[in-house]
Every structure is written in C-alpha cells, then in structure tokens.
Structure 1
Amino acid sequence: MNYRHAFHAGNFADVLKHLVLAQCLEHLGDKPKPYRVIDTHAGVGAYDLTGDEARRSPEWMHGIDRLLKADIPQDLRESLDPYLHVVRAMNSGESLTSYPGSPEIAARLARAEDRIHLCELHKDDSVTLDKRYARDARVKVQAMDGYRALPGLVPPREKRGLVMIDPPFEHRDEMAFMAQAAKSALERWPTGTFIFWRPLKDLWAQERFDVGLAEWLIADQGLEGEKLLRADMWVRELKEDGPLAGAGVVVVNPPFKLEERLLKLLPWLTELLAQDEDAGWRLDGCINDDSLMVDEF
C-alpha cells in the first residue's frame, strides 16, 4: 500500500493515532523538565482539507468530522480534549478546512522549553515542512530518511520524550524496516516513549512485528509487560485488498493512564466511526493466546 498522508488526513486511522499522540504529549508536559519529540516520517505538518488530495479522497468526513459533530460523553472528554483542542484551534466556526499532522500536534502541545525534531525524506514535503516551522526555534527539520537518522537522535539531550514512527508503507518490507529501527533505537533509549503506527493490511506481517517487538522487549530487554500497549481499531471487515479498513498503534512506555482511558474510549469511538457491522477494536499487550511465535526480531 501507499499511505501518503495528504490523501488520508483526518480519517479513522488518524483519529486513533493522533489522540494517542496527544495523550502521550500531555503526560510529558505534566512534569516541569523539558522533553523532545522525534518524528521519523513527518510529512508536511498539516493538511488542507479543501485541497485536491483531500477532495479526491475525503476520508476525513468519516473520521474527524464525525468526532467533532458527536455528543461526546462527559467521562470521555478528558481523553479527547488535548487532541480536539488542536483540531479546533486550526479551524474557525463550523467549517472544517485544516487538519494537523503529528508535527503540528507536537508543536501546539509542546512548551517553549521543549524541542521537536522532524525527519522527512520526500524532497518537496521536507521543503514545505521547513517553511512551516522556519520561525519556530523549537523545531528542527531534517531532510533525511528517518530510519537512518534515528540512531543518531536517541537518546536526546533532554532524556525525556517521544519517538513517532509513522511511515507511508510504500515499500513491501516496511514492517522489517520498522523492526530494525525499533530495535536500534530502543537499545539506545529504553526509557523513551515510542509510538509505532501500523495499518491492518498485511495481517501476518503486522502480527509478526507486534509479537516480535513484545517478545524481544520482554524476554531480552527485561521490559515489564505493562509498559507495552497495542491499540487497534477497524471500521469494517478487515481485508488485505481494497481500501484500508483498520489501523492502530503499538506504544512502548505509554503513560500510566493511557490504557485505562483507551479501554473506555475505544468501544464508543469504534461505534461512532464504524462503516459496517464488522467494525471492532482491541487493546492488549501484543501477546495473547492467538499470537504468532517468532524466531527472532
């Protein structure tokens, strides 16, 4: 698959990914010490929902638009507020014209003392990204493959922070590339928060990545099981062909309240964004009775 952000901005996959990111950033900001955000596949930072790409594929209408128009239960608002605050701040009135990518969410939630490092290999996108944040002293844009850059970026000087790995999955071996990056970076920075986004498309490769990462972290690196969290959602029946039906994240070293909040949020969010009766969700630690067993990671 080719998951260029501009064509899918604000869809169901973005909603889940970005609300998790916002929750993690809010947690980091609760402590006074500065933190660093590293985004390996940053895109252009924010997206015009009136532009050509979004008009050709208006997936946001079944994602963020539904969420903004929903009557959100009181007990879920705290979980959604950091994310929705950013979206609303970018749009005026009732019309939805702009949507934040991960860099914009980080830039709007980070404090003056925090730092953001954005990697983007695509030449035109990196230029657009650099122009967007040229006047923001907190942000550094690097026109480079994020996988190659990551080992040199961790651990950051601040010793606190988050790595977002959200590739467009243009290459058939993307899961393998992501696994290599995960192993290298986590060996260097085992206490950092890492968010890995994966589409639920090639289900065998996705499960192999999830379980392999979990087994390596727990068995070889001594990570406690509660420091690994998988959150997935699908809005219709999962199929390897056709449009993307499901996606989610694996979070290493998640905020301690994230699992509790997602356990309340995911059933409601899945029902809200469902496109047929086969919609569903899961929240676990990547290893269960049905998990694949892998030889190495």
Structure 2
Amino acid sequence: MNYRHAFHAGNHADVLKHVALLALCESLRAKPAACFALDTHAGRGLYSLDAAAAQKTGEAEGGVAKLKRTGDANIARYLSAIEACRAAHGARSYPGSPWLLTHALREQDRIACCELQPDEAAILNHNFRDDPRVIVHARDGYAAMKALLPPRSGETRFARGLVLIDPPYEAQLEEFDLAIAALRDGLQRWPQGMFALWYPIKLRRSLPPFYRRAAAIEAKSALVIELLVRPDDSPLRMNGSGLLILNAPWKFDVLFKPTLNALRNAMQESGGGNAHMEWLRAPA
C-alpha cells in the first residue's frame, strides 16, 4: 500500500485522523504552558480537492463531504477548521495535519513537520514559510524522532506535546515493525508525550499481532480507535483505519466515543460500517 496524501485528501481515514488530532490538540490547549507537536510524515500540509490526484480517486466524496454539523463538539471543531482553511485558501481546499496543527495550537507552541519526498517537502516548506512556529525537515520522520525528542527550543524544554506518525505503509504490515520500534524509542526519550499512530485497515483479523505488541509498549496507556466504513472482508482496498494513541488524555475514550459513533453513522456504506474503541493498556 502506497498512501500518498494527495490522492486521499478528505477521505474517511483523513476524517478520523483529523477529528482525533484536533481533539488531542484541544487537550494540549487546556494548560497555558507551551507544547510541542511533531508530524513525522507530513505531506504538503494543504491540498485542493480539485487537483488531479484528488479528482482521480474522488475519495473525499465518501469522507468529508458526508459530514454535517451535529451536536458533537469534536466534529464541529473539525468542520470549523475546514471552513477556516477554505476561507484562507479557496473553497475546495482541504487541510492536512500540518495545517490543522498550526490552526489548533497557539503562538507559544512549536511544530516540527517531516517529509521525505523532496517535491512534497518543498511544497510543505513553501506553505508554512511565514509561520515562525513551524520548522520543516526534509528527512525521514522515524529518524527525526531520535533527533528531535525530547523537544526543546532554545532554553525551552517542552514537557507536553504530541507526536503524530502517519506513514505511507509502502512496506504494508512491515511498516508496523518500524512504527512500533519508533514508538518504543520515542517514549524512552519523551515518556510524558502523547503519541498517535495512524494505520489502515483492510482485514482486521491481520491486526492482533500489532495489538499485542502495542499493548507491551511501556506507556501510561494505549488506546485504539477504529472506524470502518464497510465490512473488513477485502484485502484489496482500505475498508477503514485506526489510531493507536499512547498516553491519551484523561477520559479521552469517554470524550471520543460519541464522536466515533457519529462518524460511523455519517460515513458507513450501506450500513456496513463499524466503530471500535479499546484500551490495550488501561490507564492506572
């Protein structure tokens, strides 16, 4: 699986990932101290749904286009962010995770974005060249975790923050080996940080080994949230996706469960969707 962001902008996986990302950022904003965010596989950070790549797949029609405002605060926050993005960049723009981080975090916070593909990294750097909070690294995100954690800026050491790992899964299930190793190392370097790993779901029955390894990571907690828009009975397409969140905010499961159910109801195809949330390692 080669997951290039431009081809999938605004699809159901982006919706889950970005709604959760903004909810995690909201928890960081709850305290006044500055925080740090690292996006390890950032892409270009800003997309057009009219671009050839997005038009080729049309996946946004099954994702963000299906969402309407409800009473759910997390979904409302996401839709408001998209409206802000489109007000600034055009009616068919879609914000990637770097844009959402800059939108959600504050003047005192700092953001590092990594992108290995040279063309994408150049566009990413251009898109955020005027934001002094953002540093773009044209390098491998896993390697950057070793260099950038624990985070600091001058004399400032960041006690709080988030690492988002959103790899392309070019190596398919082997990507989990790289991600698990990076999570273990990252937590050793920055044990108080939150870490969120996105992963695609084709056949959920292939995931238990990943769950077991994730549960064994030395973190305060390990939570998985998963959204499937169709039955996970085909290995040929992405039927859903999930997020592994290590050191999730207090009661994040309670906060996010109604959101997850609302996302399932909005985006499932022919009633075949499923929403799943589980503590692999429950908080003490």
| Rounded Cα–Cα distance in structure 2 between residues aligned with 1:240 and 1:190 | 37
Which residue of 208, 214, 223 corresponds with 1:229?
223
Does structure 1 conserve the Cα–Cα contact (< 8 Å) formed by 2:69 and 2:79? no
CA distance in 1, matches of 2:12, 2:280: 21
Map Cα deviations across residues 217-241 of structure 1 (whole Å, 9 max, x no partner): 2xxxxx44xx321100100011342
Maintained 8 Å contact 2:223/2:281? no
In the TM superposition, what are the counterparts of 1:265-280 in structure 2 within 5 Å? 265-280=259-274
Aligned-partner Cα distance in 2 for 1:203–1:287: 19
Task: State the SS of the aligned residue for 1:199.
Answer: strand
Cα deviation for residue 85 of structure 1 reads 1.7
Q: Normalized against structure 1, the TM-score is what? A: 0.88
- Call closer, same or farther: CA 1:185–1:36 in 2, change over 3 Å: same
Q: CA offset at residue 201 of structure 1?
A: 2.5
**Identical counterparts, % of pairs:** 35
Deviation at 1:176, TM superposition (A): 0.8
Q: Specify whether residues 138 and 92 from structure 1 end up closer, same or farther in structure 2 by C-alpha distance, changes over 3 A only.
A: closer
TM-aligned CA distance change 1:210 to 1:106, over 3 Å: same
Structure 2 distance, partners of 1:153, 1:6, is 26
Per-residue deviation at 1:180?
1.1
How far apart, CA to CA, are the structure 2 residues paired with 1:211 and 1:98?
39
Which segment is superposed worse, 52-61 or 194-203?
Answer: 194-203
Deviations 1:193-250 (A, max 9, x none): 1000011136455332222121232xxxxx44xx321100100011342221110101
Alpha-carbon distance in 2 for matches of 1:255, 1:174 = 26
CA distance in 2, matches of 1:212, 1:123: 32
1:48–1:98 contact (8 Å) kept in structure 2: yes
Whether contact under 8 Å (1:192, 1:253) holds in the other structure is yes
Asked if 1:37 corresponds to 2:37, the answer is yes
After superposition, residues 1-297 of structure 1 pair within 5 angstroms as: 1-67=1-67, 70-72=68-70, 74=71, 76=72, 78-92=73-87, 96-157=91-152, 158-172=158-172, 173-201=174-202, 203=204, 206-217=207-218, 223-224=219-220, 227-286=221-280
Shift of 1:285: 1.0
In structure 1, runs of 5+ residues without a counterpart are 218-222, 289-297
3-state SS of paired residue (1:285): strand
**Matched length:** 275
Please name the residue that 2:155 is paired with. none
The one-letter amino acid of 2:42's match is A
* One-letter amino acid of the counterpart of residue 256, structure 2: L
Supply the distance in 2 between the matched residues of 1:211 and 1:174 (Cα, whole angstroms). Answer: 16
- Tell me how far 1:287 sits from its aligned partner: 6.7
SS at the partner of 1:91? helix
- Aligned residues of 2:41 and 2:113 also touching (Cα < 8 A): yes
**Mapped contact 1:116–1:140 kept (Cα < 8 A):** yes
Q: Which amino acid aligns with 2:34?
A: P
Q: Deviations over 1:87-126 (max 9, x none)?
A: 1112249x95011111000011111111000110000000
Letter in 1 for 2:236: G
1:147 Cα offset (Å): 0.6
Inter-CA distance 276–91: structure 2 relative to 1 (3 Å threshold)? same
**Alignment partners' CA distance in 2, 1:279 and 1:272:** 10
Matched with 1:291 is none
Q: Which runs of 5+ in 2 are unaligned?
A: 153-157
The answer as to whether partners of 2:69 and 2:75 remain within 8 angstroms in 1 is no
